[in-house]
Amino acid sequence: MANTIAILGTLDSKGPEHAYIADALHRAGFTTLLIDVGSLDAPSITPDITRTEVLAALTAANASAASETAAILARRDRGECVALMARAATALITALHTFGRIQGIISLGGGGGTAIATTAMRALPIGFPKLMVSTLASGQVAPYVGPSDITMMPAIVDVSGLNRVSRAIFTNAAGAIGGMVTARFPAPSPTSPSPQSPTAATIPAVPTATQSSPTVAQSSPTATQSSATATQSSASTQPGISLTPASFASPDKPLIVASMFGNTTACVTTAKRLLEEAGYEVLTFAATGNGGRAMESLIASGLVSGVLDITTTEWADELVGGVLTAGPDRLDATARANIPAIIAPGCLDMVNFGERSSIPKKFADRTFYQHNPHVTLMRTSPTECAQLGHILAEKINRYTAPVTVLLPLRAISVISAPGQPFHSPEADTALFTALRHHLRPDITVVTHDVEINDPLFAHACANALLAHLRPIQITAAQ
């Protein structure tokens, strides 16, 4: 009987990426259990264990949790949903381990996915193979790892699609967890208890672990295409793939880099799709400090054709003292590389801190939002926003290649929209006014009376960059 590896993930936003891991593990001879811990949208691939079954593991241990669970899901608050799924995943994974159904666990994630998966992993004993591929892996990971032996692997690019970088990282991750499991469990695992066993009734029945690629949900055309790409690409990936600059070069698809955060995911995902349809490959970097530095490094290498810098939030952390700063050189590489860019003030409404107790006392009277159990966001003030506008303008003024600044007037993140906790027209106005005031007069500023994740704004960002990248083709088409 082959060893079984649990693949835990938010399959509403990261389905094809987890399917890629499953496919790589199947080809290596492992069986898998694909577990969905998403909570906001429908999964883009078919899991072995659904989110409903994950939540059932929590309510089975606490009947009174059912009504609380329903209320949280109905509110659709991201922070609350992450905390809920973390508790439920812990209950499920603990049960699966107790009954010998899994011999290892792996997950891919950004902030929310990392919080959910590592909470479950910390409940497993020392020595049990556990691997977390995370956009946060090179930062302060103590809240996620705790006293456990979770192996954290940097994702380098955001866990958002399959590309020449993410395939290499995910292939290595599958090999790593496979190696751990083989070393830990060289002999066939014990037979799982009978589904009729009363003690096994509290976890979803999994008669046969998956040995073939996950089925893509038919309701998601985009996911279908991505999953197909995952299967084709993984089949052609060779061991020993190089991550040297030469390995990024592609004569067929020029590179565009993009910055993204959970609060700008919808915008960047739509813009990314449009750019890919136009013939570009888009590498998305999480704006987590290290992600911004990695993006700047790749831009400086000379291999990037254009920059979709929608999420400039790392400057808020740099200015105010948050934990996800990319340093004072953020936005400089584009100027030195002399390549086209679009800039937007995505998530400049927030400064990132760890758990609430870690926030400096001088900020005690500020507005906060619990993004996940380990990340607390603080709203930037009007004064800070004016400073941020000035800083961005000074950076952009050094650009000599075509550049457009786009401003979404109604919200610069999900949680700064009307009715959301960070809604502050005064702060946003201070940001926009300072940015426009200090920009060179020849730099185009385009405003849209929409929220940043509105499809209209995403299309505007993609089309502006395409206009800079291919002005001759655009003119001919018109």
293 & 440 share domain: yes
Count of structural domains, the chain: 2
For the chain, the straight-line distance linking the first and the last C-alpha, in angstroms and rounded, comes to 61
State the CB neighbour count (10 A cutoff) for residue 70. 12
Give Cα separations from 371 to 288, 347, 348, 351, 366 (angstroms). 14, 13, 15, 11, 15
| Residues 35-84 pLDDT 10s | 999 998 999 999 999 999 999 999 886 777 888 899 999 999 988 999 99
CATH code of 421's domain? 3.40.50.12030
The two tokens of residue 76 are: 């659709």
Q: Please report the pLDDT score of residue 59 as a whole number.
A: 84
Which of the residue ranges 6-10, 144-148, 252-256, 414-418 would you say has the lowest mean pLDDT?
252-256
Distance CA 82, CA 120 (A): 12
| Residues 153-209 pLDDT 10s | 999 999 999 999 999 999 999 999 999 999 999 855 444 444 333 334 455 555 456
Among 186, 210, 229, give the residue marking a domain's end.
186
Residue 402 pLDDT > 60, yes or no?
yes
Look up the pTM and report it.
Answer: 0.81
Q: Concatenate the DSSP letters of all residues of 48-84 into one string.
A: SB-HHHHHHHHHHH-TTHHHHHHHHHHHT-HHHHHHH
352 & 429 share domain: yes
Helical pair 455-469 and 265-277, crossing angle rounded to 10 deg: 40
SS3 254: coil
Q: Is 421 part of a structural domain of the chain? A: yes
Residue 96 pLDDT > 80, yes or no?
yes
Among 186, 219, 253, give the residue marking a domain's end.
186
Q: Is 194 part of a structural domain of the chain? A: no
Q: Strand 368-372 relative to strand 341-343: parallel, antiparallel, unpaired?
A: unpaired
pLDDT band at 281 (very low <50, low <70, confident <90, very high): very high
**Residue in the block written with tokens 């479950």:** 120
Q: Is 386 part of a structural domain of the chain? A: yes
266 & 400 share domain: yes
Q: Is 476 part of a structural domain of the chain? A: no
Q: Concatenate the DSSP letters of all residues of 365-419 into one string.
A: TS-EEEEETTEEEEEPPHHHHHHHHHHHHHHHTT--S-EEEEEETTBSSGGGSTT
138 & 246 share domain: no
172 & 297 share domain: no
181 & 248 share domain: no
Q: Is 217 part of a structural domain of the chain? A: no
What residues make up the domain containing 422?
Answer: 242-467
Q: Is 475 part of a structural domain of the chain? A: no
Q: Is 232 part of a structural domain of the chain? A: no
421 & 300 share domain: yes
Q: Please report the pLDDT score of residue 139 as a whole number.
A: 83
Which residues have CB under 8 Å from 211's CB, separation 6+?
2, 26, 31, 32
CATH code of 107's domain? 3.40.50.12020
pLDDT band at 470 (very low <50, low <70, confident <90, very high): confident
Q: Is 202 part of a structural domain of the chain? A: no
What's the mean per-residue pLDDT of the chain? 88
Q: Please report the pLDDT score of residue 62 as a whole number.
A: 76
Contact (Cβ atoms closer than 8 angstroms) between residue 264 and residue 311: yes
pLDDT band at 478 (very low <50, low <70, confident <90, very high): very low
**Which of 253, 306, 302 shows the shortest CA–CA distance to 278?**
253
